[in-house]
Structure 1
């Protein structure tokens, strides 16, 4: 039998048996006495899923592979896809199960009822289940300090959750660029950098990126109209479209962007610091609860 080395035990760690009494039981060595540490748990990021129909008949909740990749490999957290529907989960459930949230992009738009405007064909498709989860979730996280990162639709949700509104189609506005996804091309071409985003001098994003402006992709049709309460627009496209924001005086991480930083997040010099900072915020939250 191989020799098993035992750790050094301090005088107070070991109850010595009475050698004069052979029936005295030997002390039990607990896991801490053996020097075993509990494995460190990676914090969990709830990735807001989108409902859609697979093969035109099978309903699913899903999120893009690149979202999970960015959360796992750059933020350093466990990605957990959330079925964003109040029939299945509640805001309280999610805040208890997750340490932070990635508010993803998605084809459906926030319903204009949520910002007091009538529905029109220009507003496109909707996902009222997601509206019912993400909007109150954002407000609850703003209050509690639980971190979230908003991306594309998620960026728009943060503005709406804080009382703002959206333009249904920004390319129809005078002087605006077409920010929509290119209709054709490879994934690399669809997610290619297409315009500059300029940050407020000395602002949160400029300090995080170490740059006054960066190049980003653009794959959205809607955009911020009325700016919500406490929303700080910290970056804009050349046509004035808001592209980066945060919630003023929120106790936690609330940074949100209109572009898609999850694409090539490990290598992109703009995406990597954003997901790294988000991961740090999620770890800090997990360590305090």
Structure 2
């Protein structure tokens, strides 16, 4: 049987500062194919090429990846500053309405890092441009030097709400995660439940209250070593199960319409 299809929301980049591409980390595709058990397909996240309606009908679920560009602060009613960093306005134009549509339809998505932040903004929340500048907060950014193994190494705990969605999934109230982000949630959006926090209070795990589908999103990068990591694996497995359930429901609905 054909695998259920997961659309990977990528970012716009320039190769050698001149050749434009849409790209996503290989580890995202590995996690979707090898752990979630679905077919990973890159999406050119630009409204010139695709529409939200087409994406909803073409894919069974979506992976909202991390990436260097940040959500533009105009999307949450704030002025752009130097601290907000680089942007990908084309991705904003696709990802934010796509998230809202998935929440309404019950179509599954998994948000990672920037994707986690997109979920909050899509639901009306706001972001801090630089977590490390806040009193009492740690530096959550990627270490500037070292190997990939060193940059993606586990660096702090995340504690979940007792009995919450993430606690039930992982079977633990506290897990170790990596951390490679500069921005973070300032004000949670409507129905955004902060279900896990870093030791300094930074939100690290959220879901959408009363949403009919899978909406779990994390601020860390579970795609790194997803097949062997005891936290990453159950997250991607649960996402894959949700994607297959959606695909089965959509197929059944199609059979009923054609009968």
1:206-225, aligned counterparts within 5 Å?
Answer: 206-225=167-186
SS in 1 for 2:187: coil
Residue matched to 2:254: none
Residue matched to 2:117: 156
1:38-77, aligned counterparts within 5 Å?
Answer: 40-77=1-38
Query: Root-mean-square deviation (CA), in Å?
Result: 0.4
Q: Distance in 2 between matches of 1:257 and 1:122?
A: 22
SS in 2 for 1:46: strand
Q: Distance in 2 between matches of 1:153 and 1:265?
A: 18
Q: Is it true that 1:166 corresponds to 2:127 in the alignment? A: yes
SS in 2 for 1:47: strand
Unaligned ranges ≥5, structure 2: 251-259
Q: Is it true that 1:250 corresponds to 2:211 in the alignment? A: yes
Q: Is it true that 1:111 corresponds to 2:72 in the alignment? A: yes
What is the total number of aligned residue pairs between the two structures?
A: 250
TM score, norm. by length of structure 2: 0.96
Q: Distance in 2 between matches of 1:246 and 1:217?
A: 20
Q: Distance in 2 between matches of 1:56 and 1:168?
A: 25
Q: Is it true that 1:268 corresponds to 2:225 in the alignment? A: no
Deviation digits for residues 236-269 of structure 1 (CA, Å, limit 9, x no counterpart) = 0000000000000000000000000000000000
Q: Distance in 1 between matches of 2:30 and 2:16?
A: 25
Residue matched to 1:183: 144
Q: Distance in 1 between matches of 2:97 and 2:197?
A: 26
Shift of 1:99: 0.3
Q: Distance in 1 between matches of 2:107 and 2:163?
A: 25
Question: Which structure would you say has the larger Rg?
Answer: 1
Q: Distance in 2 between matches of 1:90 and 1:145?
A: 18
Residue matched to 1:202: 163
Residue matched to 2:107: 146
Shift of 1:89: 0.4
Q: Is it true that 1:129 corresponds to 2:87 in the alignment? A: no
Deviation digits for residues 124-168 of structure 1 (CA, Å, limit 9, x no counterpart) = 000000000000000000000000000000000000000000000
Unaligned ranges ≥5, structure 1: 1-39
Q: Distance in 1 between matches of 2:54 and 2:21?
A: 20
Q: Distance in 2 between matches of 1:63 and 1:237?
A: 26
Shift of 1:274: 0.1
Q: Distance in 1 between matches of 2:17 and 2:86?
A: 16
Residue matched to 1:36: none
TM score, norm. by length of structure 1: 0.86
Shift of 1:285: 0.1
Runs of 4+, deviation exceeding 6 Å? none
1:228-243, aligned counterparts within 5 Å?
Answer: 228-243=189-204
